[in-house]
Structure 1
Amino acid sequence: MEHNMILENELIEDDCHIKCKRYLISLFGESAAEYFLSPSSCSKEIPSWFSQLKDDMKDHTSAVTLWDAMRQRSALILQESNTEPSMEITNEIVRRVTDWKTLKKQDHLMHLAGVKYMFRRAQRNQAISALLLHHNPLFDYMINNGLN
């Protein structure tokens, strides 16, 4: 029983894989589909600064010295990143904030336009209902049942 379920699951997975592959091929072509479907075989390179650090330590490599050297490098990177931003970066930030405020204002105006439209439609529907009721009054059940 359990063996049958395993085989059935494998068949479902294979079918799903084939369908996904066909779909990717139809979207991107054969080579791009293979790129997405094949497992990544890229080798992870050791950063050059780390290789240099290990070479400088030579045989004195220990966890403590390695940790201290990496901590010093991190502190140096943080110091460099805490410098004043360039005028170009500042202008880009100002531009993005301005764009965001403009988009926010446009969104609000579109929302208001939608609310106004709904209000006008409600008023129109109310006027149509009043007109229909005026020309076609509701049937009075009390009169026809002789209760008056």
Structure 2
Amino acid sequence: MMEQVAENKLIQDECDLKCKQYLISLFDEPTAEYFLSPSYCLKEIPPWFSQLKDDMQDDMSAVALWDALRQRTTQILQESNTEPSMVVTNEIARRVTDWKTLIKKDHLMRLAGVKYMFHCAQHNQAFSALLLQHNPLFDYEINNGLK
């Protein structure tokens, strides 16, 4: 039990580290710390976030904030990514095709399994009917003198 808790803690720590590294790669370290910090102590608010809040003075709802953050993230991603190369585009198309093929195969395998279960059920039903026809059920009332 203690081994599992320790292992879960290691996995959680590794996940936290990867998330932190990813946020640092997208933003800078103070911004990543701002989003990751669970404490309520005052931290330096990133200037872009302060500007974002100032621009949204009257429309400061969760939906509006979420949309503004999504637009900022999209802008950062567009600036960091150039036009995708044909190799990347072809790789994405191949993966989508592979995924669709796997889904189709999985569906066909499930159908085959359902057909097999149906035929097994029919076979078992026929076998039960044959057994009951040649070996009628024991009548408890006749043997106990109730009839």
Q: Which has the larger radius of gyration?
A: 1
TM bucket by the smaller chain?
0.3 to 0.5
Q: TM-score, normalised by structure 2?
A: 0.45
TM-score (ref. length: structure 1): 0.45
Q: Which has the higher contact order (CA 8 A, sep 6+)?
A: 2
